[in-house]
Amino acid sequence: MFKRLRGMFSTDLSIDLGTANTLIYVKDRGIVLDEPSVVAIRQQNGQKSVAAVGVDAKRMLGRTPGNITAIRPLKDGVIADFHVTEKMLQYFISKVHENSFISPSPRVLVCVPCQSTQVERKAIKESAMGAGAREVYLIEEPMAAAIGAGLPVEEASGSMVVDIGGGTSEIALISLNGVVYSDSVRIGGDTFDESIVTYVRRNYGSLIGEATAERIKEEIGCAYPGNELLEIDVRGRNLAEGVPRSFTLNSNEILEALQEPLSQIVSAVKSALEQSPPELASDIAEKGLVLTGGGALLRDLDRLVAEETGLPVIVAEDPLTCVARGGGRAMEMMDKRGFDMFAHE
C-alpha cells in the first residue's frame, strides 16, 4: 500500500544497465541519466562502503589508492557483483528522483541480454527490487533497441537489429513484437579497448590504460579504411624502460588492432542472416539492418557490415540511447495497449 503511494510520486524508469554505461530514460523527460557503470568501493576496518558512483568513480579507475577499488559490477552484460550493482542502481534511482520528497518506488524496466541465463535475469530483477523498485520488468536488449530505433516491430515484417554494447553484441530478427532469432556474442566496446591495449603493448612496447584506449577508439578508431588518416598522441608506460613515453597512433593502426573483434561481429551477423526464415530474410534484404548501441558509433562500422553482407546498413539515430529509449517506449505501449513483449525469467 505504502509502496503504491510512494509509487505515485515516482516516475517509471527504463534502465539500460550496460556493462560500460547505465542510461535511464523517463517518459516526457528523455534520457535523464547517462553515467558509466562504475562503482568505487572504499574498504576501511574490514567494512566496505561506496565511495563514488558513475562519472566520479570512473575518474578513479586505475588511479585508486590501496583502500579504494573502482570496479565495474557488470561484466558481459550481466551482473558480476550483485551487491555493488544494487548499490549502484539505488544511487541512480535516487539521483533521478532528486527532487522527490518521498523516497522513490518506481516501476522499472531493465534491459537484459538475449542469451542471459535465468539466474542472471533473476539477479538483475532482484537487484532492481533491492534498489527500491516497486515492480521490475525485463526486456531483451535487441527488442528495446529496435523499438528505440523506430523499427516497425509490430508489423508482420522482419527487422534486423545489431546492438553493439560495451560487453556484448546482440543480433536479433524481430517480427510481430517478438524475437524470431537472436544471438549474442561477448564482444563489444570493451573488447575493442582491450584489443587496442594489446596492439599498443605488442607494437610499441608500452602499456596504456583502458581509459586511454577508449579515448583512442573514440577519436581515431574506425572499422573501414577511409580517405583521411587520423592521428593521436598517446602516453603510456614503456615496459622495457619502465618510464612514461609518448608516441603517435594513426587510424590505420587502430583499424588493424580492431580486426579480430570486428570480424567476430560480422560473422555473427552473417550467421543470423543464414538462419533467418526466407520471408524475413527477404524483408531484411530489401530494407537492410540497423546498428544500435555505443559500438555503432565506431567510424564506418556500417560500411564494413554493408560491404561484408551486401545489405543496406544504417546506423540508428542516437544509437547510444536506443535501448533505454526503446525500453521507455515499451512501457508506454504496455500501459496503453497491454503489450507483452517482456522477457521472462
Partner 1 sequence: MTLMPGPSDNIPSASAETLSASQLLSDPPGATLRKARDARKLDLETAADQLNLSASVVRALEEDAYDSLPSPTFIRGYIRCYARLLRLSGDDLVRSYERIEALNQPSADIEGVEASEVTSGGWLRWVLVSVVVGTILVGTIWVQGNEPASGVLESASNEQEIELVDQNAASSVNSVEVEPMVQEIAAIDLVEDPGLAVKEPAVAPEAVTTVDTEFVQPSVVQAPVVNEQQVVELTPVMVDMPVAAIDVPEASLAEITVEPVAAIPTTALSTSTISTVSMPEKSSITMKFNGECWVEVWDASGQRIYANLRQAGHLVSLKGVAPIEVKLGNGSAVKLEFNGNPVLFASSKRTGVAHVTLSPEVH
- Helix, strand, or coil here: 33? strand
The nearest distance, CB 149 to partner 1, in angstroms, is: 6
Decide: is 300 part of the binding site for partner 1 (CB under 8 A). yes
- Cβ–Cβ under 8 Å, residues 39 and 71: yes
Query: CB-wise, 230 or 315, nearer to partner 1?
Result: 315
Interface positions, 213-252, toward partner 1 (CB under 8 A): 224-227
Q: Using CB under 8 A, pick the residue from 30, 310, 318, 345 that binds partner 1.
A: 310
Query: CB-wise, 87 or 107, nearer to partner 1?
Result: 107
Distance of alpha carbon 331 from alpha carbon 138, whole angstroms: 10
The nearest distance, CB 268 to partner 1, in angstroms, is: 12
341-345 LR contacts (CB < 8 Å, sep 24+) = 341/139, 341/143, 341/153, 341/177, 341/178, 342/109, 342/137, 342/138, 342/139, 343/112, 343/121, 343/138, 343/139, 343/140, 343/143, 344/138, 345/118, 345/121, 345/122, 345/125, 345/138
Q: Taking the CA atoms of the chain, what radius of gyration do you get in angstroms?
A: 21
Check residue 140 and report its DSSP letter: E
Distance of alpha carbon 45 from alpha carbon 303, whole angstroms: 54
The nearest distance, CB 322 to partner 1, in angstroms, is: 10
Query: CB-wise, 244 or 310, nearer to partner 1?
Result: 310
Among 120-128, 133-141, 176-184, 285-293, the segment contacting partner 1 (CB under 8 A): 285-293
Query: CB-wise, 241 or 256, nearer to partner 1?
Result: 256
Decide: is 312 part of the binding site for partner 1 (CB under 8 A). yes
Nearest one of 14, 337, 340, 323 to 164, comparing CA atoms: 323
The nearest distance, CB 310 to partner 1, in angstroms, is: 6
Say how many C-beta atoms besides its own lie within 10 A of residue 87's C-beta.
21
Decide: is 306 part of the binding site for partner 1 (CB under 8 A). yes
Among 147-155, 198-206, 210-218, 323-331, the segment contacting partner 1 (CB under 8 A): 147-155
Decide: is 135 part of the binding site for partner 1 (CB under 8 A). no
Interface positions, 7-46, toward partner 1 (CB under 8 A): 8-9, 28
Residue 234, all three cell numbers: 598517446
| CA triple 144-121-6, angle to 5 deg | 75
Q: Using CB under 8 A, pick the residue from 94, 95, 129, 152 that binds partner 1.
A: 152
Among 121-129, 175-183, 273-281, 303-311, the segment contacting partner 1 (CB under 8 A): 303-311
C-alpha torsion sign, points 331, 334, 337, 343: positive
Number of residues that bind partner 1 (CB under 8 A): 35
Among 43-51, 90-98, 137-145, 148-156, the segment contacting partner 1 (CB under 8 A): 148-156
The nearest distance, CB 125 to partner 1, in angstroms, is: 26
Interface positions, 260-279, toward partner 1 (CB under 8 A): 262-263, 266
Number of H-type helices and E-type strands within the chain:
12, 18
Query: CB-wise, 224 or 247, nearer to partner 1?
Result: 224
User: Could you identify the residue written with the cell 587520423?
Assistant: 230
Check residue 80 and report its DSSP letter: S
Decide: is 197 part of the binding site for partner 1 (CB under 8 A). no
Residues that bind partner 1 (CB under 8 A): 8-9, 28, 149-152, 224-227, 255, 259, 262-263, 266, 286-288, 290, 300, 302-304, 306-308, 310-317
